[in-house]
């Protein structure tokens, strides 16, 4: 239990309040008339020119040992336009759009966007991940490891000392458990205090 708590604290990411909704501003893009039967979606990113991905879900069939079949869903992104703002003429309906996360080059956030018969603009502020942790987080990781080990040792020694009416083991167990718990608590606090941060993005989808 102590080890699980320390591990959970080590992976902690502080979530900040979401970015404010972008203003309903039509980007300066030039485009011809919409093709018959198509809808027009203009995608703009507040943070500057950004590659836009289209994300398609693919289902892969698999069977368990009993022969029961299930499906695993996976996302397959492909480049929709190299840099925003971009004008897309697509069939009306829902489309999954992928946006990068600033500060995390491997992350892609998918948003379900509706393409309607009337032209619309989807403006987005990107999410931001920052990992500028330093010495406090390192000290916290060491503290959770050392404190967790000491607390476990105290948990083992204390009942033995009480059961055998051994003052030495009881004292050692009590001191080790108390000190370990204190160091563990400090370690968890330090990790959370100096944790990476994540600020969710925001979007505004409007007609023009």
Q: Are strands 52-63 and 197-199 parallel, antiparallel or unpaired?
A: unpaired
| CA dist., res. 60 & res. 67, Å (int) | 15
| CA dist., res. 88 & res. 19, Å (int) | 25
Give the 3-state secondary structure of residue 33: coil
Per mean pLDDT, which of 22-31, 111-120, 129-138 is the most reliable? 111-120
| In contact, 189 and 141? CB cutoff 8 Å | no
| In contact, 207 and 119? CB cutoff 8 Å | yes
Give the 3-state secondary structure of residue 34: coil
| pTM (predicted TM-score) | 0.65
- Between 79 and 57, the more confident residue is 79
- Average pLDDT estimate for 126-141: 74
């Amino acid at each position: 239990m102590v080890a699980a708590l320390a591990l959970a604290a080590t992976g902690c990411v502080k979530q900040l309040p979401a970015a404010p909704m972008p203003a309903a501003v039509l980007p300066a893009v030039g485009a011809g008339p919409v093709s018959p039967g198509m809808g027009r979606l203009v995608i703009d990113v507040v943070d500057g020119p950004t590659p836009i991905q289209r994300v398609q879900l693919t289902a892969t069939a698999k069977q368990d040992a009993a022969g029961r079949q299930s499906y695993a869903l996976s996302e397959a992104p492909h480049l929709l336009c190299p840099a925003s703002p971009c004008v897309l003429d697509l069939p009306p309906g829902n489309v999954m759009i992928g946006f990068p996360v600033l500060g995390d080059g491997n992350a892609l956030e998918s948003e379900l966007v509706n393409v309607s018969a009337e032209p619309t603009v989807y403006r987005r502020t990107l999410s931001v991940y920052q990992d500028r942790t330093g010495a406090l987080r390192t000290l916290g990781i060491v503290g959770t490891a050392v404190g967790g080990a000491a607390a476990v040792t105290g948990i083992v020694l204390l009942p033995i000392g009480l059961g055998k009416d051994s003052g030495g083991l009881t004292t050692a167990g009590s001191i080790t458990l108390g000190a370990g718990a204190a160091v563990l608590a400090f370690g968890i606090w330090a990790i959370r205090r100096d944790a990476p941060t994540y600020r969710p993005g925001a979007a505004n989808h409007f007609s023009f």
